[in-house]
Amino acid sequence: MQFNQSKNSQSNECAFNHASRYEWLEQSKNPITFVRQSAERLSTPEVLEPAEIQRLLSRLGSPYRLMALLAVTTGLRRSELFALKWGDVDITSCTLHVKRSIYNRIIGRCKTLTSKKDLPLAPYVITELVYWRQKSNYQEAHDWVFASPRIARAVSLPAGNAAHQDYQAGGDSRRD
């Protein structure tokens, strides 16, 4: 939450600078300067022990088991996990190509530049991915790995993108 507040503060400052530049507001009277914010974490994330991860994975069914397995073995964010397409999975080289994220049903860039990269996958993770793809109704390279069979909802590219068009993806779980 603190990170979002810090990001919001930066956005407000940018808007203020723009408004000042066009003389919509008085110069040097930025109200956000009185708000103290920090991008530091307020709490330390809880890290699971290997035995806890095994217990968790043993209790999950498809596709949640694969989602958790990918998250713990690659460190993917939820937004990156739900934005995976089958074309991002390279079975032969055991590599996952992280190219996009999805938040509030909008396809966007990864959160950081270092997030957009190729990740190695262990052979047992590849085996799980192949098994899930065979079970899935969505198996084409352009299909989402975790497409929802329940609800197909429109997912859009960000406004301002020249190729703005709607895509089909699933589920309410496509949030970060």
Dihedral angle of Cα 84, 85, 89, 95, to the nearest 10 degrees: -30
- The H or E element containing residue 7 is helix 2-21
At residue 119, the pLDDT reads 94
Mean pLDDT of 93-107: 91
At residue 156, the pLDDT reads 47
Report yes or no: 154 and 168 within 8 Å, Cβ to Cβ: yes
Q: Which of 93-102, 106-115, 151-160 has the lowest mean pLDDT?
A: 151-160
C-alpha distances in angstroms, 68 versus 130, 152, 168?
16, 22, 23
The average confidence (pLDDT) of the chain is 77
Q: Which of 152, 150, 145 is nearest to 168 (CA)?
A: 152
Q: How does residue 167 score in pLDDT terms, banded at 50, 70 and 90? A: very low
